[in-house]
Amino acid sequence: MQYLPNILFAILLIIGIGYFIKNVKKLTRNIKLGRDIDVNDNKSQRWKNMSMIALGQSKMVRRPVAGFLHVVVYVGFIIINIEVLEIIIDGLFGKHRIFSFLGSLYGTLIGAFEVLALLVFASIILFWIRRNIIKLKRFWKSEMTSWPKNDANYILYFEMVLMTLFIVMNATDIHFQEMNSGNVISQFITPWFSGLSSNTLHFIERGAWWLHIIGILVFLNYLYFSKHLHILLAFPNTYYGKLQPKGQLDNLEAVTKEVKMMMDPNIDPFATPEEEESEAPAKFGASDVQDLNWVQLLNAYTCTECGRCTSECPANQTGKKLSPRKIMMDTRDRLEEVGKNIDTNKGEFKDDGKQLLDNYITREELWACTSCNACVEACPVSIDPLSIILEMRRYLVMEQSAAPVELNNMMTNIENNGAPWPYNQMDRLNWKNE
Amino acid sequence: MSELLKVPTMAEFMAQGKQPEVLFWVGCAGSFDDRAKKITKAFVKLLNKSNVEFAVLGTEESCTGDPAKRSGNEFLFQMQAVTNIEVLNAYEVKKIVTACPHCFNTIKNEYPELGGKYEVVHHTQFLKSLLDDGRLTIEGGQFKGKRITFHDPCYLGRANNVYEAPRELIQKLEAELVEMKNCRRNGLCCGAGGAQMFKDAEKGDKEVNVERTEQALDVKPEIIAAGCPFCNTMMTDGVKAKEKEADVAVMDIAELIANAQDL
On whether the CB atoms of residues A212 and A136 are closer than 8 A, the answer is: no
- Percent of chain A residues topping a pLDDT of 90: 83
* Torsion on CA atoms A36, A41, A43, A48, rounded to nearest 10: -90
Q: In 3-state terms, what secondary structure has residue B148?
A: strand
pLDDT tens track for A323-354: 999 999 999 999 999 999 999 999 999 999 99
Test B72 with A426 for CB contact under 8 angstroms.
no
pLDDT tens digits, B226-250: 999 999 999 999 999 999 999 999 9
Query: What are the structural domain ranges in chain A?
Result: 4-31+63-233, 253-425
Question: Biggest alpha carbon distance in chain B?
Answer: 57
Of B56, B82, B210, Cβ closest to residue A259:
B82
Chain B residue nearest residue A368, CA to CA:
B202
Show residues of chain A in contact with B7, CB under 8 Å.
Answer: 429, 432
Residue that terminates a domain, selected from B77, B101, B131: B131
Give the amino acid at A113. Answer: F
Q: Which of B32, B34, B35 to mutate to test the interface with A (most CBs of A within 10 A)?
A: B32
Q: Within 13 Å and on the Cβ side, how many CA atoms surround A390? A: 26
- Nearest-CA distance B260 → chain A (Å): 21
The answer on B147 and B47 residing in a single domain is no
Q: Taking CA B27 as the corner, what is the angle to CA B29 and CA B97, rounded to the nearest 5 degrees?
A: 130
Q: Which of B43, B60, B66, B74 to mutate to test the interface with A (most CBs of A within 10 A)?
A: B74
CA end-to-end distance (rounded Å), chain B = 9
Same domain, B127 and B55: yes
- CB-CB under 8 Å, B186 with A259: no
Name the residue of chain B whose CA is nearest to A404's CA. Answer: B199
Partner residue opposite A418 with nearest CB, options B26, B41, B63: B63
Report residue B1's pLDDT band, with 50, 70 and 90 as the boundaries.
very low
Fold of A253-425: Fumarate Reductase Iron-sulfur Protein; Chain B, domain 2 (1.10.1060)
- Report the gap between the CA of B112 and the closest CA in chain A (Å): 10
Residue in A315, A367, A372 closest to B154 by CB = A372
Asked whether the CA dihedral B122, B249, B222, B194 is positive or negative, the reply is: negative
Chain-chain contact of A431 with B40 (C-beta, under 8 angstroms): yes
Burial level of A342, CB count in 10 A (0-12/13-18/19+)?
middle
Closest residue on chain B to A426 (Cα): B59
Give the nearest partner residue to B67 out of A322, A410, A431, using CB atoms. A410
User: For chain B, what percent of residues have pLDDT higher than 90?
Assistant: 97
Chain B nearest CA to A342, separation (Å): 30
Domain assignment of residue B9, given as a range: 2-131
For chain B, the domain total comes to 2
Set of chain A residues whose Cβ sits within 8 Å of the Cβ of B71:
393, 397, 403, 407, 410-411
A contact test, residue of B71, B183, B209 with most A CBs within 10 A: B71
At what angle are helices A253-263 and B74-90 packed, to 10 degrees?
50
Q: What is the mean pLDDT of chain A?
A: 94
Q: Which residues contact B141 (CB under 8 A, 6 or more apart)?
A: B173, B259, B260, B261, B262
The angle formed by the CA atoms of residues B203, B206 and B210, to the nearest 5 degrees, is 135
**What ipTM score was computed for the predicted complex, to two decimals?**
0.96
Query: What CATH number should be reported for the domain holding residue B103?
Result: 3.40.50
Shared domain for B239 and B146, answered yes or no, is: yes
How far away is chain A from the Cα of B174, in angstroms, using its nearest Cα? 31
Chain CA centroid to CA A97, Å: 35
Q: Specify the DSSP class assigned to residue A54.
A: I
Under-50 pLDDT residues of chain A: none
Instruction: Give CA–CA dist A424/B7, Å, rounded.
Output: 19
Q: Which of A260, A409, A428 sits opposite B61 (nearest CB)?
A: A428
Query: In Å, how far from its chain's centre is CA B192?
Result: 14
- Count Cβ atoms within 10 A of the Cβ of residue A46 and give its class: 0-12 exposed, 13-18 middle, 19 or more buried: middle
DSSP state, residue A241: S
Q: What is the DSSP letter of B56?
A: B
A35 beta partners: A293
User: What DSSP assignment string belongs to A400-411?
Assistant: T----HHHHHHH
Task: Write the CA distances from A290 to A142, A145, A352, A355, B231, integer angstroms.
Answer: 26, 27, 14, 10, 37
Q: What is the pLDDT of residues B172-231, one digit of tens each?
A: 999 999 999 999 999 999 999 999 999 999 999 999 999 999 999 999 999 999 999 999
Give residue-wise pLDDT tens across range A170-219.
999 988 998 888 899 999 999 999 889 989 999 999 999 999 999 999 99
Task: Select from B131, B165, B184 the last residue of a domain.
Answer: B131
From the list B22, B27, B170, the residue with the least C-alpha distance to B100 is B27
* pLDDT interval class at B2 (50, 70, 90): very low
Say yes or no for a CB contact (<8 Å) between A249 and B110.
Answer: yes
Q: What is the pLDDT at residue A95? A: 85
Cβ of B110 and A434 within 8 Å? no
Give the separation between CA B39 and CA B227, rounded to whole angstroms.
10
Query: How high is the pLDDT of residue A180?
Result: 87
Q: Angle at CA A385, nearest 5°, toward A384 and A387? A: 75
Q: How far lies A162's CA from each of A69, A150, A209, B48, B141, in Å? A: 17, 18, 10, 71, 67
- Same domain, yes or no, for B145 and B256? yes
In the chain, the amino acid numbered A319 is: G
Give the residue from B131, B158, B193 where a domain finishes.
B131
Q: pLDDT of B38-79, one tens digit each? A: 999 999 999 999 999 999 999 999 999 999 999 999 999 999
Q: How far is Cα of residue B181 from the mean position of the Cα atoms in its chain?
A: 23
How far is B143 from chain A, CA to nearest CA, in Å?
26
Task: Decide if A248 and B110 are in contact by the 8 Å CB cutoff.
Answer: yes
How far from the centroid of its chain's Cα atoms is residue A109's Cα? 31
**What contacts A388, CB < 8 A, 6 or more positions away?**
A286, A292, A296, A299, A327, A328, A331
Phi, psi of B177 (to 5 degrees): -80, 115
